[in-house]
Structure 1
Amino acid sequence: MMPGRIDAADGKNSLIVREGILESVWRPGSFVDVDDAKDAMHAVDRIIGGSPMPMLSEMTDVEFSAAARFEFAKSTGVVAIAVLGSSAVDRVIAAATSRHTHYPHEFFTSRKAAMTWLADFIQAEVQGEV
């Protein structure tokens, strides 16, 4: 059984699983360093319980160090990630993180579009294609 909400990175990040999707929300205005990234990834491991799943990451107005972006790219806890942001800067940060990932990674400005994209991965998981 997955725990409820988990906070990580000194409260900068909050994680919860809803409808088969791991939702990660970063506090706007945060600066995320490598230690924050490692703590968030440990929280991901705790909440998913060893079963990688699709993730929605809300990161509007959040700055990530290069080391933090590289740490996130090493994640094995997700099968795909939809990054939700609101600006060109958010898009650039998401693109910088995606360079090193080994899983599908897309940027969205619409939560509905992001969730629709992630739903395809849940369906593939149900059908044993992931």
Structure 2
Amino acid sequence: MKRFSAFRHALMALPMLLALGACTTYEYVPPSSDAGRACAAQCEQPRQSCIASAQDRAEAGAKECRQTRAFTLALCLAGANDKAQKEKCHERAPACVAIPMTESCEASFRRCYTSCGGQVIEVD
């Protein structure tokens, strides 16, 4: 049963690993003018605010998940009659992770950066 549990947890992590493997990186070429560089520098503050908000949302979601997990696990364990049933309760409990979704923040930053005269080059 432990082997199935390890397989299940690895399977749950697969989408996250695939997403990380598919990450695109970017090279930023600054604008040539002083005004363009000043403009591009101003793109960073909204980006950081957006990332902080995404992190807050992810953490709030993970907190809610942990609370739900604790409640459902307690209910399951209360009804479990033996060690095997208790083990199943733990196996069925969802994993709770905080993964901030920041792609829209990065996309907005890239649009802002290019509107200031900078270049964003996709590097694979």
TM-score (norm 1): 0.22
Structure whose residues are more often strand by fraction: 1
* Structure with higher helix content: 2
* TM-score normalised by structure 2 residue count: 0.23
